[in-house]
Structure 1
């Protein structure tokens, strides 16, 4: 009986190997034909496509077309940032935010000192995507913890300690058109409400100024509205123009006649907004703050020798959601802020380097060491893909995606990928660039890992997407 099963097992293995080889011989010409049709389409006459396909079970190369040519990634870069972080930090990593007080509390409940919030870069602080981490919940938690100490008045400051990132930081390779908008919100050690604000417009006559009717920005900002009313169906073409610490924000573009949408734009100083909101929450319970609301950055601007007091008392520590839960929304909704927060942690633990370019270099070096991917195949400048200067090869991206399949956290990572065209994959879109990377299970149960990047295509993005889906359908 033992000999029979041994013979059966060996025969089964041989059969599967032969079947795999036979399938590879079948799929390769199929992909070759599909890719050739794809790259000879007039839409790519002046463009370029890079396509890599791996056997997901063995990691063997199934097909490559221009696989070693670096192209802009757009948001497909997010999977590389995600996988790197999961590998280095683990899926249960959290960002702590500490609440402290300095000085003494007298018998009347007066704090003769400051309240300090110290951030470590939690990108979810105050985000409504996590009910237990929403702004209302956190503000109430902080307020109640202060009240439990018997504090009824603060004879000092509320300080937002954002020293970890030296204030509010935006990658230098991001464009002026992007950084004023919600998707171009930069990074702070104290991010707040995903670093975005909202504005509501009321359309008038086509071509005339659309009225700015409300915003949740405070009165310290000068909002200049140059938005016109667009034709019905023209949608949201509104762009905000500002920069870190700006006090003037321009709204330009057009707002469709039939549009009903809140326009989201980036906060110029999230840490300052956080302590403003905390102060307002304390005032609701008659807890007065007699001194100023200051960020560490502004205190150092006023006095370069200023340092946060070493003697401070911990009131409360709030932990972010787990990294795997942050990565879920990072990939599902392509939140660029999350990528920059994660990248900076990667840089910090790798070489104590939190500047975006340095941290991105660390990420590339990690994969050079881990998978022997040459640095020339991963020239990256941020963690989210918003930089148009990023250049990654499809084979590098596919190999990293394939590596993820071998890790214990892969199932949760996979669940976080959007389902597009019936496939679990991450998309990426910036000007004249589209990309998809993911996993495909074919009808015959073969499984593939793939990356497809396209740059400088002509025509509409919707038409190019359909062409890309047609090519990827060859894997089904």
Structure 2
């Protein structure tokens, strides 16, 4: 029996060494959920038991460590295949997750609009251009809440570049003088729309997008001519589309007789771009008689001509940038975008509601859960480590999982994890979102073990003493043996 045990231990050591030498700097990051394991069942068991013992020892050391002695913290490793907890400590406690909150926000966006979603910012005009190049009418900038507009983030163009493209389009149309205003509007473009329009906002189709014109509060049900068939929710004819407050279905009416104002805020329009364009036109000797106006409502559709359409980077590219850099501004904008896409406005309330609705729909454990913002900046956000780990496991079944997974920083190699796990087995084997606030350090994501298993984990530390670097060192020491599970 002793010989057998010794043989198994030697075998486990050999396989661990081989797996480490092959996997420390992962050339292919994307995990396969159900891989064939190279180890024998006995070898895996021996190594797993040894790893669990080491993890238990690290947990005991962390409990008594001066930095964490009075802290609130929880830890869990979860197996997506067996759907069981592998190891953990205090995993059912509600803790502040910091920027690991972005895991929920970005996943909701992927689920709602897909990884190839792009925001559009369109330049149009209405009116006639006479023989001398005078536009007797207005220019329109129709935005859709692009969070990357003008920032250069994720490959987005700068405001100056977009304005230059607009100027060339205006010159190409022969416009040399504008007797009118530059009007900003917000729209949802049909190319980015799901078959169901947002609730509680009436939209009038104008070419290839929808513009808000009011609320459905006082819509007369007698104007509901018919329910739009599910297979063809968009009509090329001018109609007023809305979600019926009576039938709770999408319908259209030939006339709109509700209140002609918006009950909720519209997405932030590209005001800076519009002002820059006006100044650039004047500098280019193209006079503009009017001013920049933000148009909140439009009761009637207008016949306009499109001069130029700027498209943002894809949602995939923006989410990659968001998670790699832990960009709070983009995360908040993404949360507002999903609220706009689902409920017709871009308020924090609608964004939060859209994310929570998504989490409810996928069976997320809401015990102890509190979702205050899209970025994780609030100390009032709370979540259980086990809820995070199970959530990440459930994402592995989604079609967009590869893009979602690839957006995460890699231990010792990229993003906010580039300077962690540099001299550890975990280098190149942990793919996770970090989180840092005052007295909060968090990490949640995926572990690619030496045997090829893909596990999910969550490690949330609140109210610690000492420095952030001390906590990061404790995290590395605790997670290192998980590679042998």
Contact 1:331–1:417 (CA<8 Å) still a contact in 2?
yes
2:79 matches 1:72: no
- 1:223-234 maps to which residues of 2 (within 5 A)? none
Query: Residue deviations 1:411-449, cap 9 Å, x none?
Result: 333332122222322111111111111222233434321
Contact 2:340–2:350 (CA<8 Å) still a contact in 1?
no
Q: Matched residue of 2:436: which SS?
A: strand
The CA distance in 2 between the partners of 1:52 and 1:418, in whole Å, is: 19
Deviation at 1:88, TM superposition (A): 2.4
Match of 2:356 in 1: 364
Report the structure number with the largest CA radius of gyration. 2
Q: Matched residue of 1:141: which SS?
A: helix
Q: Matched residue of 2:455: which SS?
A: strand
The verdict on how the C-alpha distance between 1:148 and 1:403 changes in structure 2, with shifts beyond 3 A counting, is same
Contact 1:357–1:382 (CA<8 Å) still a contact in 2?
no
2:461 matches 1:462: no
The CA distance in 2 between the partners of 1:64 and 1:350, in whole Å, is: 37
Query: Residue deviations 1:93-133, cap 9 Å, x none?
Result: 11122222122222211112221212111111112235562
Match of 2:202 in 1: none
Deviation at 1:23, TM superposition (A): 4.9
Deviation at 1:77, TM superposition (A): 1.0
Contact 1:271–1:295 (CA<8 Å) still a contact in 2?
no
The CA distance in 2 between the partners of 1:120 and 1:41, in whole Å, is: 51
Stretch of structure 1 that moved more, 153-162 or 310-319? 310-319
Match of 2:114 in 1: 90
- 1:201-212 maps to which residues of 2 (within 5 A)? none
RMSD over aligned Cα atoms? 2.8
Q: Matched residue of 1:280: which SS?
A: helix
Deviation at 1:62, TM superposition (A): 0.8
Pick one of 106, 117, 126 that aligns with 1:102. Answer: 126
2:459 matches 1:445: no
The CA distance in 2 between the partners of 1:14 and 1:329, in whole Å, is: 35
- Structure 2: 5+ residue runs without aligned partners? 1-35, 189-210, 212-267, 411-416, 421-426
Stretch of structure 1 that moved more, 332-341 or 27-36? 27-36
The verdict on how the C-alpha distance between 1:81 and 1:132 changes in structure 2, with shifts beyond 3 A counting, is closer
The verdict on how the C-alpha distance between 1:308 and 1:126 changes in structure 2, with shifts beyond 3 A counting, is farther
2:333 matches 1:333: no
Deviation at 1:283, TM superposition (A): 2.8
2:399 matches 1:408: yes
Match of 2:438 in 1: 431
The CA distance in 2 between the partners of 1:51 and 1:458, in whole Å, is: 18
The CA distance in 2 between the partners of 1:86 and 1:17, in whole Å, is: 37
Match of 1:255 in 2: none
The CA distance in 1 between the partners of 2:300 and 2:277, in whole Å, is: 19
The CA distance in 1 between the partners of 2:319 and 2:384, in whole Å, is: 23
The CA distance in 2 between the partners of 1:341 and 1:134, in whole Å, is: 18
The CA distance in 1 between the partners of 2:399 and 2:443, in whole Å, is: 24
2:85 matches 1:35: no
The verdict on how the C-alpha distance between 1:345 and 1:271 changes in structure 2, with shifts beyond 3 A counting, is closer
Match of 2:336 in 1: 344
Contact 2:133–2:174 (CA<8 Å) still a contact in 1?
yes
Deviation at 1:152, TM superposition (A): 0.8
- 1:182-261 maps to which residues of 2 (within 5 A)? none
Q: Give me the TM-score of the superposition, normalised by structure 2.
A: 0.66
The CA distance in 2 between the partners of 1:416 and 1:408, in whole Å, is: 15
Deviation at 1:293, TM superposition (A): 2.2
Q: Matched residue of 1:54: which SS?
A: strand
Q: Give me the TM-score of the superposition, normalised by structure 1.
A: 0.67
Match of 1:111 in 2: 135
Deviation at 1:323, TM superposition (A): 0.9
Query: Residue deviations 1:200-225, cap 9 Å, x none?
Result: xxxxxxxxxxxxxxxxxxxxxxxxxx
The verdict on how the C-alpha distance between 1:95 and 1:18 changes in structure 2, with shifts beyond 3 A counting, is farther
- Structure 1: 5+ residue runs without aligned partners? 1-11, 165-188, 190-268
Deviation at 1:391, TM superposition (A): 1.0
Stretch of structure 1 that moved more, 50-59 or 380-389? 50-59
The verdict on how the C-alpha distance between 1:146 and 1:59 changes in structure 2, with shifts beyond 3 A counting, is farther
The verdict on how the C-alpha distance between 1:128 and 1:351 changes in structure 2, with shifts beyond 3 A counting, is closer
Match of 1:206 in 2: none
Match of 2:315 in 1: 323
Match of 1:222 in 2: none
Match of 1:271 in 2: 270
What count of residue pairs does the alignment treat as equivalent?
Answer: 354
